[in-house]
Amino acid sequence: MTFFAAYRWQVKPGKEEQFRKAWRRGTELIQERYGSLGSRLHRDDMGRLIGVAEWPDRSTWQRAFDAKMVYDDPDARAAFVDALESWDDEPLLLMEVTDDLLDRGKNL
């Protein structure tokens, strides 16, 4: 069953593009190394960035989470951390899909 994990970050002023570039690289590497299905980045009304990652199942996400999702690009990781003003150590939300009516073929 598809599984989602949401994370929240407050990015330092002027560092959003650096964060987004590092987030994209990290997401690609997590897909390759841990089997994530990818992620979407959102901005909430308070200006925080929210990443919602999709996983094939909770156990695949749990293995990656337990391994701290370490990947082989220290520059991307350093840029990611440098851009952060604050973040939550734990996921904001962990969710399993019960019904999916999202039309992935339109308006992408």
**Local confidence pLDDT in tens for the 108 residues of the chain:** 799 999 999 999 999 999 999 999 999 999 999 999 999 999 999 999 999 999 999 999 999 999 999 888 999 999 999 999 998 878 999 999 999 888 877 665
Task: Please report whether residue 60 resides in a domain.
Answer: yes
Number of domains in the chain: 1
Task: Please report whether residue 20 resides in a domain.
Answer: yes
Task: Please report whether residue 36 resides in a domain.
Answer: yes
Task: Please report whether residue 108 resides in a domain.
Answer: no
* pLDDT the model gives residue 102: 84
The pTM score is 0.89
Instruction: Retrieve residue 5's tokens.
Output: 């994990």
Q: What is the span of the domain harbouring residue 67?
A: 3-96
Say which amino acid occupies 14.
G
* CATH number of 10's domain: 3.30.70.100
Task: Please report whether residue 107 resides in a domain.
Answer: no
Task: Please report whether residue 85 resides in a domain.
Answer: yes
Task: Please report whether residue 105 resides in a domain.
Answer: no
* pLDDT the model gives residue 108: 56
Residue 71's alpha-carbon distances to 45, 59, 76, in angstroms, are: 31, 19, 9
C-alpha to C-alpha distance for 43 and 10, rounded to whole angstroms = 10
Task: Please report whether residue 106 resides in a domain.
Answer: no
